[in-house]
Structure 1
Amino acid sequence: MKLSRNIDVKANMIWNIADTLRDVYKRHQYGSVILPFVVIKRFDAVLQDTKEKVYETYKQVKDFDDHKVLLKRASGHGFYNCSRYTLGLILSDADNIESNFNDYVNGFSEEVQDILSNFEMHKLIEKLASNNLLYNVLQEVNKVDLHPETVSNIEMGYIFEETIRRFSEAQNEEAGEHYTPREVIELMVNILFTDEDLSKTTEAITKTIYDPACGTGGMLTVAEKHLRKQNSSYNLISYGQEINSETYAICKADILIKGEDADFIRHGNTLSNDRFKGYNFDYIISNPPFGKDWKSDQKKVKEEEKLGAAGRFHMGLPSVSDGQMLFLQTAVAKMKDKNKGGSRVAIIHNGSPLFTGDAESGPSKIRQYIIENDMLDTIIALPNDIFYNTGIATYLWVLSNKKPAHRKGKVQLINANDMFEKMRKSLGKKNKEITPKQIEYISKIYGEFKPGEFEYNGNIIESKIFDNQDFGYLKVTVERPLKDKKGELILKRGKKQPDSNLRDTENIPLKEDVKEYMEREVLPYAPDAWIDKKKTKVGYEIPFTRYFYKYIPPRKSDDIFSEIKELEDKELQLMKELFGNG
């Protein structure tokens, strides 16, 4: 209780700093202003005890080639500040607040400079100073005691995370660009670690986790928290790449604040500039953007496609209008070889990666590769309206190349669309949430790996188990013979010629015998039809909605008529009461 109360008190103090910004900044901009100052305040507090030592060391070694190493050693941390100022000293000289604060900011080591430059700190300082707000903001931030003796690294991580969450939710729709609702992450992490036995060993074990579109780092943070809660001997090293400068800065700051290696959070476009080439990870978790085009990345992506298995995109390329399956391939490429322990993946997609693309198109080939290599473990349909910026259907894909024996060659589909509770107040388009108990129950259905329809507190969840082959089909071209006006066959070198106007295609499930299918579905209606085997293609799709469709018969006409008659009678009675029998 003490831990959560401390977090809440500090987060409230930080949140209230927004009151100083109201006349100059809009509500959705508050986080962009305040978060960098929180980062600076924490670093100021962490470096406080060795401040004098670092400044004296700096004066002695500033011209040495290895001065950075010596200054880090003097600070006792992986970063330092060699300015003579502290926040307290800056506030004691209100007349020179801007120049002194700039001097202080410039004194940070390059790890922190990278974060602050992505926050565009100097522009921020200039705007605050020109509106006479810099002193007020610094004064309010400095009131929040973030010294390590008061706030541990773990607590500070929670405070920063809670502050990010509040500002992100305050942005409503805009939050969806880089913020995944907490309960969705909790579910992903629960599922990701379900098959892992985390309780057996007390030996120190190091695992790695990677997010190719890490945003503010929420998924990495929750995953680390979950593992430590299950077994404190586990050390989870977080790796992430983020294209947005500000969210990258927030994520890197969070990692540095917690005393971890911030070098593993990297800035850049994952699709065109993979900052983790040659890396493989134990776990991959992500919520990449839906429906975002990759036109500007085409050249680099196609160059990597040509590398074949040495690159990420050898399975196939999706439509240029939607890059989410490129992130899916990135996740697959980052999995460890199963002979080296294998990996598990949890990644969010909308509906299009399930079925988009014809047989042998890029998306179909991607599905084919993943399914035929027995990597697709589970797909879970999530409730609609649980994300901030979209109400569309979303799905959690779970991949694994180390399936337990009972899951090998199988895919579990779970329809959890009904597992939600309505929120009292909407946040952007988010008006539903998955409760902790519902997360637990969905995870239970996943873990038990049984088909069936289950009820939980009035909410229905359904699980179905399929063979890998159930998702594959042959797209066959069915030809009919070309005839003349008299109805006689037109032959060429004694062979029937196909009539292109009568040409048709059939999708035949891989499990079906093609001959039997033709005899049952085609030949009774077109006895002269045949298959052109040269045109046969293999396709893969996951028609999730069709698998869980439930037919609801229309109401009987007599029932509808009776209801209409009842309404007419009520209307007549009301008219009599209003106007009398006349």
Structure 2
Amino acid sequence: MSKTTAKVQSLSSFVWSIAEILRGDFKQSEYGKVILPFVVMRRLDCILEGSKQAVLTAEKKLPKGVDEATRDMILFGAVGGNVKVYNLSRFTFETLKGQDPGQLHANLIDYITKFSGNVRDIFLDKFLFTDQLKRLKDGGILWQVFERFCEIDLHPDKVSNIEMGYLFEELIRKFSEISNETAGEHFTPREVIRLIVDLLIANDDAKLTGKGIIRQVYDPACGTGGMLALTEEALKDFNPSIRVELFGQEINGESFGICKSDMLVTGHDPEQIAFGNTLTQDAHKGKKFHYMLSNPPYGVDWKKYQDPIKSEADTLGKDGRFGAGLPRISDGQLLFLQHMISKMRDDETGSRIGIVMNGSPLFTGGAASGESEIRRWMLENDWVEAIVALPTDLFYNTGIQTFVWLLTNRKSKQRRGKVQLIDATGERFWKSMRRSLGSKRREIPEEARAELVRIYEGFLNGESAESEVAKIFDTADFGHREIRVERPLRLNFQASEDRVARLRNEKVFLKLDEPEREEIKVVLLGMKNVLFTNRDDFDKALSKAFKARATKVSVPVRKAIFSALSERDANADICADSQGKAEPDPELRDHELVPLKENWQAYMEREVTPFVPDCWIDESYRDARDGQVGRIGYEINFNRYFYRYVPPRPLLEIERELKALEAEISELLIKVQA
């Protein structure tokens, strides 16, 4: 165990012991709402204590009517260094200890409300910390909690920014684990993040080596900031002199408060973490980033904010973020991915994206659907580099399978036009946890992570003697042309009692007066139940029957009669239109998915026409983009590429198990009856 790890664990244990004071007055799931803000406040107090007098003096000397931006700049300067926060309260934690304990609540409120606006907003609006302080006061434990926090020194000279980041991450993880019902909503397991980060920077050795290297990292759904923090750690481990700038946006107030606090306590610019809905209010508009990674919400609908998204798509098209297409309203994952692609740099360095999503974005939606068009856009632009299928049961609030997508606009020469699929679902890539945490029952061990990075980094194909876990495809391999196949409509007609009775289901017939309806029934039943296998013959016979009784019917009613008295009959004659062309049967209509690399005419002649000789291709069914016959669709089906046949167990083995179960049930029944 390193000194840093030991130090962080010691600090974490101490802070965790403070949480024990809350037992009884707060639910376990609420501990973080008290402890995390206190940690942030203590860290800031330690940072600002030495410059307290200088800041108060500078505040007194401010000219009257000074604007807020100038005021902040002057007071930040009085604090010194790169610190972008100040506090104008006369108190510090040290001086608060000497005050009347009965006044602690009022004094802490004074302390919090006199932070600079960027921090005051976190405590008041996002953490709602004044509510927690009141609960501590009402429970009679405020002084105990405060006094314990005074015992730890979180000054940067004692606890470095890196160590502070580790501490914050460790506390977030602990509080997430004891709140399993919501943990997965804002906390991505550490080993999953590390895998994504390792894959992102795996082939960037040359780009990250040397002095003066700056890298900007962005997460559009940053939650508590875990992905940003671990990306910075990995980059600095590779090159200690690298400068890493972190950017993010988060819609959940509490998660945003935690993330922005993390930026504050680790020395980053907190203003680069924005609050709000990334999809409707891009807080980093116009910015481009070197690395982007995210774990957006799965299967969450975007109906309530669809108007601005659709408006941007319609107005800006390909010049906006969502010009490739809009996914179904029930799942916005691909909106986040399009947003990230819009922020790729167009210089020599380019950008790399790592995003974890569920299976829906891989195959949901047929040809020409929003999802398919988005996949088409990404693959035809050759941005998709690799996709890794992760094991199930990795996340706290869901056991579903997830996939890591890796994209870049600067592919290496050997990867151009190619996509690498890696199947990491096998047992060699995960191990069971000793204790489940919500839905999380598995984790990816370090050695498995290293192997996955090796497979990806080496662009391996068919890796492993046991089974193929990596396969390389051309981007066009995922595409198909959807051809519409029509077959002729064949109907027979009969004015039987059963079929005439079906007229009761025809609205236009029911709108007629009773005498009119009865007259039509008399005419039809008078046709003597003859079966017609040719529509034109039936049409002539029907006209003759109505003429014989001088009965007139409208065109809509006549159509209703044809509908009620007809049935599909494979042996009947083909129904033709006025020009003599065969009419298609909507119920027999089918679609063939022809691989994009194959000629569709040759495919149809080989695979379809020999078996359905009366079919034809609807050549009016064309792709909106290339104008060719058939609509282009893209999907990536992992099961198809990595299917492994598992033979059924021998019948004798199954029979033995059934007999054993029967015997066990019999014994239980005997015990119950006794």
C-alpha distance in 2, partners of 1:274/1:352? Answer: 25
Contact 1:33 1:124 in 2 (8 A): yes
Moved more, 478-487 or 245-254: 478-487
Distance 1:200 1:207, change over 3 A: closer
C-alpha distance in 2, partners of 1:439/1:315? Answer: 33
TM, length-normalised to structure 1: 0.93
Q: Work out the number of aligned pairs and report it.
A: 569
Alignment of 1:233-382 (within 5 A): 233-306=241-314, 307-337=316-346, 339-382=347-390
AA matched with 1:520: R
Q: Which of 521, 525, 528 is equivalent to 2:614?
A: 528
Aligned residue for 2:179?
A: 171
Contact 2:43 2:155 in 1 (8 A): yes
**What's the CA shift for 1:567?**
6.1
Aligned residue for 1:478?
A: 485
Alignment of 1:7-156 (within 5 A): 7-61=8-62, 63=64, 65=66, 66-76=70-80, 77-93=83-99, 94-117=101-124, 118-156=126-164
Aligned residue for 1:440?
A: 450
AA matched with 1:432: R
Alignment of 1:196-211 (within 5 A): 196-198=204-206, 201-211=209-219
Contact 1:173 1:427 in 2 (8 A): no
Distance 1:304 1:566, change over 3 A: closer
Q: What SS does the corresponding residue of 2:108 show, helix, strand or coil?
A: helix
Contact 1:119 1:245 in 2 (8 A): yes
Distance 1:494 1:67, change over 3 A: closer
Q: Which of 570, 579, 603 is equivalent to 1:493?
A: 579
Q: What SS does the corresponding residue of 1:116 show, helix, strand or coil?
A: helix
Contact 2:388 2:421 in 1 (8 A): yes
Alignment of 1:207-222 (within 5 A): 207-222=215-230
C-alpha distance in 2, partners of 1:321/1:51? Answer: 51
C-alpha distance in 1, partners of 2:615/2:207? Answer: 62
C-alpha distance in 1, partners of 2:649/2:291? Answer: 50
Contact 2:33 2:132 in 1 (8 A): no
Distance 1:171 1:461, change over 3 A: farther
TM, length-normalised to structure 2: 0.81
Deviations 1:277-317 (A, max 9, x none): 11111111000000111111111111111111222111111
Contact 2:423 2:469 in 1 (8 A): yes
**What's the CA shift for 1:329?**
1.0
Deviations 1:416-467 (A, max 9, x none): 0121000000011101000111100011111111221426xxx966001111
C-alpha distance in 2, partners of 1:448/1:416? Answer: 16
Distance 1:519 1:57, change over 3 A: same
**What's the CA shift for 1:375?**
0.8
Deviations 1:547-573 (A, max 9, x none): 111122334546656x479969x979x
Q: What SS does the corresponding residue of 1:61 show, helix, strand or coil?
A: coil
Deviations 1:247-270 (A, max 9, x none): 111111111111111111000011
AA matched with 1:546: R
C-alpha distance in 2, partners of 1:68/1:512? Answer: 65
C-alpha distance in 2, partners of 1:489/1:102? Answer: 85
AA matched with 1:411: V
Aligned residue for 1:421?
A: 431
C-alpha distance in 1, partners of 2:386/2:421? Answer: 6
AA matched with 1:291: G
Percent identical pairs in the alignment equals 45
Distance 1:431 1:494, change over 3 A: same
Q: What SS does the corresponding residue of 1:82 show, helix, strand or coil?
A: coil
AA matched with 2:20: D
Aligned residue for 1:412?
A: 420
RMSD (CA atoms) = 2.3
Q: What SS does the corresponding residue of 1:271 show, helix, strand or coil?
A: coil
Distance 1:26 1:511, change over 3 A: same
Moved more, 512-521 or 275-284: 512-521
**What's the CA shift for 1:206?**
0.7
**What's the CA shift for 1:64?**
5.8
**What's the CA shift for 1:403?**
0.7
**What's the CA shift for 1:114?**
2.3
C-alpha distance in 2, partners of 1:261/1:461? Answer: 45
**What's the CA shift for 1:389?**
0.2
Contact 2:482 2:632 in 1 (8 A): yes
**What's the CA shift for 1:199?**
7.5
Contact 1:185 1:219 in 2 (8 A): yes
C-alpha distance in 2, partners of 1:300/1:571? Answer: 64
Distance 1:320 1:567, change over 3 A: closer
Contact 2:184 2:396 in 1 (8 A): yes
Distance 1:164 1:62, change over 3 A: farther
Structure 1: runs of 5 or more not aligned: none
C-alpha distance in 2, partners of 1:402/1:134? Answer: 55
Q: What SS does the corresponding residue of 1:85 show, helix, strand or coil?
A: coil
**What's the CA shift for 1:60?**
3.1
C-alpha distance in 2, partners of 1:427/1:557? Answer: 38
Distance 1:560 1:218, change over 3 A: closer
**What's the CA shift for 1:46?**
0.7
